[in-house]
Structure 1
Amino acid sequence: MAIIGTLLKKGIHLRESLEQEYGSASELQKQELKKLLIAARKTHFGEKYQFRGILESFRQEGDAYYQAYAKKVPIYDYEKIYAEWWHLLQQGEKNITWPKAIKFFALSSGTSGASSKYIPISKDMVQAMRKTGVRQLLTLSKYDLPSKLFNKGILMLGGSTDLEFNGTYFAGDLSGITAGRLPIWFQRFYKPGQKIAKNKNWGEKLDQIVEKAAKWDIGIIVGVPAWLQILIEKIIAHYQVETIHDIWPNLTIFVHGGVCFEPYKRGFEKLLARPLIYMETYLASEGFLAFQASPECSSMKLVLNNGVFYEFIPFTDQFFDENGDLKEGVQPLSIAGLREGVEYAMLISTCAGAWRYMIGDVVKFTSLEECELIITGRTKHFLSLCGEHLSVDNMNKAIQMAENQLNIHIREFTVIGLPYQNLFAHQWYVGTDDAIDHEVLGQRIDDNLKQINDDYITERNHALKKVSVQVVPSRKFYDWMKSEGKEGGQHKFPRVLKGAKMDSWIAFLDQ
């Protein structure tokens, strides 16, 4: 880490970072797709969809290469690509969607469906994730940071590195897969260390970290906000101190991702003696897609030249049904055809054998020139029972506004849509340990959404007849996740509950 600190102070950059900084987004993506197709041309997938023929179109002008790719290769979601291709990888078969066998599978948090998904992780993808991680690390040269910070410990709070092995492949949280294969130069600074990281019991792992915390000099923390907040609260209570800076005086940076941080920020900052630098990452089970690249900008820069090719579909009623499923005959856009401020569902093709794969996220570009974006939600995590088009981004903003208006801290929340008097209703479940009248809170949230979303206010006057709030102790949210086998690691509480998960949550609260 001292070496990295020296590099940062000297302003050294990776070649790939410079290529993206001075390159055309469309040209970088064209070359990335070419690399992926060349690598996979002899796989079963590549032969079926005639990758060699698609590669010949790269000699032509314009976007002929993309039109050929889009014409030959169908769009996949997880269920479709797993049923047709990825289940063969779990049987140990080689050269299916990517060269050689796949030895690792990341278990996704499964917030959209009823169970975890097995996402293939190739050696090429592990290398790509590492490279993007270093690229983000080197952006710290843009911050005014003391040199001593780069010699401090880095606490990465993730899933167990003791992966499940069935004789053919290993499976576990992506954080557990990557943390178990850290570069040698990084291991000296990595906390909580390999022994604690292997523990599969999340409660025990947190207790072990608490016991060791006072012996560590932590400068950077990495993880999902909810679980890091719980850990820090435990540390503060155990050592009977005022803030985490009494234990870790050099704590300066919080690297987070997977969920919008704003709803957690108010409560999290009560645990600090001074503000932290917040750095957001877009690290999905399918790849490291984007990261916050400068202190001046809260959006994230899409990584264009490191193992991922992107396509985009406007997230509107024209292209998606009321369940968030893609309609027939949709033609996605390459990065050359986008507009700022428009919400897009994203498809990715990757060096782990995902092809035109709908990742499930909805993004919005804040700057096409810099390829900077924000995540606004999930294709399945939105409510549009009657045309209200309520996104997770809308929900997060409404909750944050309510926190400030009522001077309370909301740790978690979720929403379900219900039939009501032949029309519709929204039922909110809000996790807070502060005393608050549920009707007052419900009115605030409702009023805030009317300010944020024009479609919402229209439907509140017509088909959306009721919005109610149930205040729930915050611990209930984490207890339910534990009951679902989703405690700790990369797991996040879904902002919208539908189907089996909705039924499970309601039954859990009724116990």
Structure 2
Amino acid sequence: MAILGNIIKGVIELKDTFSSETDHAEAQKKVLTDLLQKAKDTQFGKHYRFETLLESANLQKAFAEHIPYFDYNKINKEWWHKLHEEESDVTWPGNPSYFAISSGTTGKTSKRIPVTDDMIDAIRDAGIKQVFALNNFDLPADFFEKEIMMLGSSTDLDEKDDHLEGEISGITASNIPNWFRSYYKPGIEISQIEDWDERVQQIAERAEEWDIGALSGIPSWIELMLQKVIEYHELKNIHEIWPNLQVYTSGGVAFGPYEKSFNALLGKPVTVIDTYLASEGYIATQVRPETDAMQLNTDNGIYFEFVPFKPNYINEDGSLKEEAPALAINEVELNQDYVLIISTVSGAWRYLIGDTIEFTDVERAEIKITGRTKFFLNTVGSQLSVNKMDTAMRELEEKFDTTIPEYTICAKRGEDDEFYHCWYLGSELKGVDNSEIANALDDSLKSANKNYKVARSKALHGVKVEVISPERFYDWNERNKKKGGQVKMERVMNEDKFAEWEDFVKQN
């Protein structure tokens, strides 16, 4: 009998009994008030007169009117650079204990995003919320005695002056509570290995020692790890070595593109739970099994605003125009893409995180990630967002009975000076002509997107497709020192970056 598991499950059920539904609009008002109150004496707070803002009759409206939008480049240039010059109380009281290193999917140089002790607490509290939400998924008691494989970046953080630096997954894993360490795999020693391939090799070699009940990590890297374990032990599927695997916690990217290839590695279905942990904070987590949408963490250190995702509000570099309107959580609607704006206990203010989302349930504050502002392809008016591209990939998978976990696209001029959409699809598909795939992709996008259909009848001359091994995408990330961890492949490239990509593919 799973005695410990029954105790843990009992505590979770008891907590759920005494929990009440969150009023997300009220929770957000309180979070904003707390943020401004705590930061009013910082350099940023004094510059933007937080103390005066706190006296406003409508704080949310006054905040939106008086504080400009910031992306990383802007806030770093104007404020965060001071943190590296031994200044304190810049955008948040004191100095951050950590900086999350994020090269993201678009930047040429690494971003250094402050992570304060308050943010570490907020992330931990959000993680506890996720644990308690497991009660909604009807998991057996013995699940709570199994080990959890958390595959992130290295926990061997770099010391720099008075702080530590690393990817956010490494920072959070290095701060796991002591009581959780016995459940946490691959363990501290292996997690500190910097080289991703070496770390995965160590996991494969020791896989038989562990009784894994749950996996957590970016889908593409989790798949590669599972493939390595299966190959090393000559298995048919991962359940032959981890028979009690029941849960996979995805994060950071939509799981849909990886669902088919991920399930091919399993011996039986597992419960997939989506989470949304970014370098800037723990944004949302799935709290019920009836949906794969995630609930925003509205009461936990992050204030959210939402800008309707429309071409006339977005600059070419993906930043927001100052006149773009921002809505509070009580003003949003269903079936509308929004640019996500956050203000946090790490001193990010009206910060463009780079993701777009849509609400699936406004009352529950449940969302889905729909794409990236910089991955919105609007050359010649095609208005393609990542969610539309992902949907097209799923249709291709069904039509050609294959998997396409990775892809990238560029709108570029051909030798005839006409614009083409040039796609590279990561797939093991054989025996099908690329032109046939291109026609199917083109038809799918035409039927799903009227703007794309109009563009195809005018300035968008055609569609070209190249099918390559998914391994080429992982090699590209490795070449750019972005293998493993929180890394996400860029779905849309500009012509300069795409030229580098094509040279890389040809060389390999």
The one-letter code matched in structure 1 to 2:130 is: Q
Secondary structure in structure 1 of the residue aligned to 2:320: coil
TM (norm. structure 1) is: 0.95
Cα separation, 1, equivalents of 2:90 and 2:458: 51
What is the match of residue 405 of structure 2?
411
1:357 correspondence with 2:351: yes
Alignment of 1:51-450 (within 5 A): 51-57=50-56, 60=57, 64-420=58-414, 421-435=416-430, 436-450=432-446
Separation in structure 1 between the aligned mates of residue 441 and residue 10 of structure 2, nearest angstrom: 46
Q: Report whether the alignment pairs 1:38 with 2:37.
A: yes
CA separation in 1, counterparts of 2:42 and 2:76?
16
Per the TM alignment, residue 149 of structure 1 is displaced from its structure 2 partner at its CA by: 0.6
Q: Which structure 2 residue ranges, 5 or more long, are not aligned?
A: none
Cα displacement string for residues 290-340 of structure 1 (whole angstroms, at most 9, x for unaligned residues): 111100011111111100001111110231134433224223111122111
Report the Cα distance in structure 1 between the residues aligned to 2:194 and 2:169, rounded to whole angstroms. 13
Given candidates 500, 507, 510, the residue that maps to 2:503 is: 507
8 Å CA contact retained: 2:411, 2:495: no
Q: Give the percent of matched residue pairs that are identical in Structure 1 and Structure 2.
A: 40
Q: Deviations over 1:331-362 (max 9, x none)?
A: 31111221111111011000000000111110
Question: What one-letter code is carried by the residue in structure 2 that aligns with 1:427?
Answer: C
Aligned residue identity for 2:10: K
Give 1:281 shift: 0.5
Query: Contact between 1:366 and 1:372, CA under 8 Å: does it hold in 2?
Result: yes
Change (3 A) 1:2 1:487: farther
Verify the 8 A CA contact 2:8 2:144 in the aligned structure 1: no
Structure 1 stretches of at least 4 aligned residues deviating more than 4 Å after TM superposition = 1-5
Mapped to 2, the partners of 1:169 and 1:185 lie a distance apart of 25
Does the CA contact (< 8 Å) of 1:90 and 1:168 recur in 2?
A: no
Q: Which amino acid in the other structure matches residue 446 of structure 1? A: D
SS at match of 1:281: strand
Distance 1:22 1:120 in 2: 28
Contact 2:371/2:386 (<8 A) preserved: yes
Please give the per-residue CA displacement for 1:432-480, whole angstroms capped at 9, x wherever unaligned. 1231321222122111111221111111111111111011122111111
Q: Which runs of 5+ in 1 are unaligned?
A: none
In 1: Cα distance, 2:292 partner to 2:43 partner: 41
Distance 1:14 1:120, change over 3 A: farther
CA distance in 2, matches of 1:263, 1:510: 25
Counterpart for residue 48 of structure 2: 49
The answer as to whether partners of 1:14 and 1:135 remain within 8 angstroms in 2 is no
Name the Cα RMSD after superposition. Answer: 1.7
Counterpart selection for 1:496 from 473, 484, 492: 492
SS of the equivalent of 1:386 reads helix
Aligned residues: 503
Q: Is the 8 A contact 1:92 1:102 kept in 2?
A: no
Give, in whole Å, the separation in 1 of the partners of 2:308 and 2:3: 45
CA distance in 2, matches of 1:3, 1:35: 38
Q: Which moved more, 1:315-324 or 1:472-481?
A: 315-324
2:448 is aligned, of 448, 452, 463, to 452
Match of 1:6 in 2: 7
Quote the Cα distance in structure 2 between the aligned partners of 1:417 and 1:404: 25
